[in-house]
Amino acid sequence: MRYLRLGAWSIFLLDLVVLFQLLYNLLTQRGGPEAVPALRGLTVLLGSALLGIAVLLVVSTWLRSREGLWTAIGLGTVPLFFAVNAIIEGWWE
């Protein structure tokens, strides 16, 4: 149970890193003026999703629920898959 909780929180923290990188790109206006609305929408979408995952993690940790932690891991890996996909696509461009 301890390793499951550690894994779920570490995935959540990695998602926060991705969110902070998006916020940094939004604040520095990187990518041109046409990319700013897309970055803003993605940041809001990811931020609200991470807020929901954070609530799920806190409740699952407090109740010691394995199902809740597994759900948080599953939901938390989705933004990481998108980030890894963007990195790999960036190598081929």
CA angle 15, 51, 40 (to 5 degrees): 70
> Is 90 exceeded by the pLDDT of residue 88?
no
Distance CA 12, CA 16 (A): 6
pLDDT band at 30 (very low <50, low <70, confident <90, very high): low
- Mean pLDDT over 16-28 rounds to 83
Amino acid making up residue 5: R
CA dihedral 49→22→26→58, nearest 10 degrees, is 40
Residue 83's pLDDT is what? 84
**Domain locations along the chain:** 2-92
Structure confidence by residue, pLDDT tens digits, 34-81: 777 877 788 888 888 999 999 999 999 999 999 999 999 999 999 888
Q: Compare 49 and 30 and report the one with higher pLDDT.
A: 49
